[in-house]
Amino acid sequence: MKRFPVIGVLCVGAILGLSACSDDSSPEEEATKAAADLCTDLAALKADNAKLKALDPANATKDQVKDAYEAVQKDWEGVKENANQLKDAEREAVKSAAEDLKKSYQGLPGDTTGKDARTQLQPQIENLDQAATAAATGLRC
């Protein structure tokens, strides 16, 4: 007795109208998944940005600021992967805010204390929070 691979049976079923032969998602399903992934990524970005924002300038260490900043940048990379799901204005606002935070952080002098770093980054942290919130709202996350 000759055995058919499982996929072959599924494809035969598809020919007969019993099942789908391919596991390819429709464009609508892919867009929905990308939007859901983006909502997850935006939530992570907002959460890590909130951790950065929550650092008390009075006693934040340089390492704490660095770790929180790096978490935000990692989240931004995830957001960029599905950013095409955002409206142009929302995408540009999040991108601009994330890039501004990156430039400001990278522009800090090497001897900047955690307190000074946290204080100097406050406007960029606030802007990123607002942009990510607006993007999540626009997606109905």
What are the structural domain ranges in the chain? 44-139
Query: With bands split at pLDDT 50, 70 and 90, how would you rate the model's confidence at 24?
Result: low
Q: What is the mean pLDDT of residues 87-101?
A: 94
Residue 83 · residue 95 · CB < 8 Å: yes
Dist CA 93 CA 127 (whole Å) = 9
> Looking at 11-15, 53-57, 88-92, which range is the least confident one?
11-15
The model's pLDDT over 116-126, given as tens digits with 9 standing for 90+, comes to 999 999 999 99
pTM score: 0.73
Provide the token pair at 75: 């989240």
Domain 44-139 class in CATH: mainly alpha
Cα within 13 Å of Cα(85), Cβ side: 28
Provide the token pair at 49: 């940005």
Query: With bands split at pLDDT 50, 70 and 90, how would you rate the model's confidence at 100?
Result: very high
